[in-house]
Structure 1
């Protein structure tokens, strides 16, 4: 089963799930023993396919850190925290977490876009 580690210990994902915001981006850093990388990708793929069918899901992309390490970044876009919370808290999804290799550690965090004049818009 995957182990959870907060990306920001002052405001972990369980606290973020109580906020009403949207749209949001889930940034989820995974670390895994390099021998377990195929198992991590297989578990993530299964979860991603399930999430794609959930209300409020927009998109996702998995990235692997360059080099020989075992770090991955998942970037997923959701209509709202409420939609992500409903999917993430669903018992069917929670049961999938057992499919991750025992060396897997995940650090999920939700973000909102920031408008910066002449650089990016909301």
Structure 2
């Protein structure tokens, strides 16, 4: 089963799930023993396919660190925290977390777009 580690210990995902915001981006960093990389990707694939069927889901993409490292990053876009919270808290999804290799550690965090003049829009 995957272990959770807050990306920001001052404001972990559990606290973020109580905020009303949207659209949002989930950034989720995974680390895993090199021998468990295939199992991690397979478990993530099953989760992604389940999440794609949930209300408010927009898109997701898995990234692997370049080189020989065994770090991965998932980037998922959702309509709102409420939609993500409903999917993430669903008992069916929570049960699927047991399919991750025991060496897997995840650090999920939610973000909103920021408007910066002459650079990007919110």
TM-score, normalising length from structure 2? 1.00
Partner Cα distance (1:56, 1:32) in 2: 29
Q: Partner of 1:121: helix, strand, or coil?
A: coil
Q: Partner of 1:108: helix, strand, or coil?
A: strand
The residue that corresponds to 2:79 in the other structure is 79
Shift of 1:69: 1.0
The residue that corresponds to 1:90 in the other structure is 90
Shift of 1:46: 0.1
How many matched pairs? 122
Q: Partner of 2:20: helix, strand, or coil?
A: coil
The residue that corresponds to 1:50 in the other structure is 50
- Structure 1 alignment gaps of length 5 or more: none
Deviations 1:47-101 (A, max 9, x none): 0000000000000000000011110000000000000000000000000000000
TM-score, normalising length from structure 1? 1.00
Partner Cα distance (1:23, 1:75) in 2: 13
